[in-house]
Amino acid sequence: MIDLRHPLVVLAGRLPWGQIEAALAPAFARKHRAGKVMLGSDLFGTTLEIAGAGVSAAGRPRLPIRLMAALLYLKHAFNLSDEELVARWSENVVWQYFSGQDYYTPQLPCDGTQIGRFRTAIGEAGVEELLKATIDTAVQSRAIRPAEFERVIVDTTVQEKAIAHPVDSRLLEIARAKVVQAAKRVGIALKQTFVKEGKELRRKAGGYAHAKQFKRLRRTVKRQRTILGIVLREIKRKLTSPISESPSAIAPLNTLLERAERIRKQQPKDKNKLYALHAPEVECIGKVRREVAYIIVSPTHKAGDETGRSVGRSLPVHASLATASCEATGTTYWIFRSRRSLRRSDVTCEHQRGWNARLSGMVNASELLQASLCMTSQRC
């Protein structure tokens, strides 16, 4: 009934199932419980007994690890939901052979919710073990050359972060206020908190920036760095003395001190800058140049497309990496360089085998424009 040349059949014979089961088995082993000491009574009076100790044999037996690992692999390989996966598994002979079954069965392998629980139980380390076994098998069978791992292509999505614009003056004032609050929370009394002066400096910096008085703005920001440094040094001196608070309560203060010090020392041209005190993972990808700030769809765009947006609507560029595939081959777009010189260049959006969206015929070869054209319209 089974074609032994089928890819899944060949993969089933080459995957190291024993190694996979041995790596995932500790996550499903029954835990040893210490038990509780309880009061008991016998003919000689009150006694102490340990109840609930040892390894419990209660509960439903777990399904085979190979079956659940194979289901998890098939789910991601064919991009199916948990319910669709178990329904198709009961009808597919090759899938059942891949899962280690000796005979065909029309029954569901498990409930759809058990796949999610299995994925949670093995954790990130278990999923990495499955991925490693798959890659090793592909290398051993010469389906993939080792040279192909020298370059990694990451498919990701750039999402805007809900933070305020990272102005130096604002970052310095927020750092000062948050550090002062954290110090008071752990019982550190400060000589000066610079609350009044900090607010006044923040207001002045905003006015000077609006009026383009950059010398006064630099002088104000320099004073903000100075008072932040005064507060940080005083807190660090008093942290060396014994404090009644526990180390767990001081840990958030140490984190704030480290981030505030980064904000105080960083300069405009530095790399790996801190753009938000509460979100250190935020990164600034780049700015959009004026000539490629907007993409205007030409009348050749099909009306009634799933984008749901009329022809001629400008689409702002929000990201620098595209994840969507282009589905309309040969669609032409118009790109205006600026309002002063309305020079037009026709750009054709093409695709190969449903993926790898690219632009051809561009006058301005901007990678940002190439990446954002398909992403902003979601479906070209």
Query: Residue 131's pLDDT is what?
Result: 85
Asked whether residue 362 carries a pLDDT value surpassing 80, the answer given is: no
Q: Provide the pairing of β-strand 314-316 with 45-51.
A: unpaired
Separation CA 266–CA 269 (nearest Å): 8
Separation CA 165–CA 171 (nearest Å): 9
Separation CA 255–CA 233 (nearest Å): 15
Return the closest-CA partner of residue 318 out of 264, 250, 247, 378: 378
Asked whether residue 350 carries a pLDDT value surpassing 70, the answer given is: no
Please report where in the chains the tokens 């003395």 appear, as a residue: 241
Separation CA 2–CA 66 (nearest Å): 20
pLDDT tens digits, one per residue of 108-153: 999 999 999 999 989 888 888 888 888 888 888 887 887 777 776 6
- Could you give the residue ranges of the DSSP H alpha helices within 141-187? 168-185
pLDDT tens digits, one per residue of 232-269: 999 999 988 776 667 777 889 999 999 999 999 998 88
Here the tokens at position 348 are 């054709």
Residue type, 31: K
Phi, psi of 41 (to 5 degrees): -145, 145
- The answer to whether 95 touches 88, Cβ cutoff 8 Å, is yes
Positive or negative: CA dihedral 289, 293, 299, 304: positive
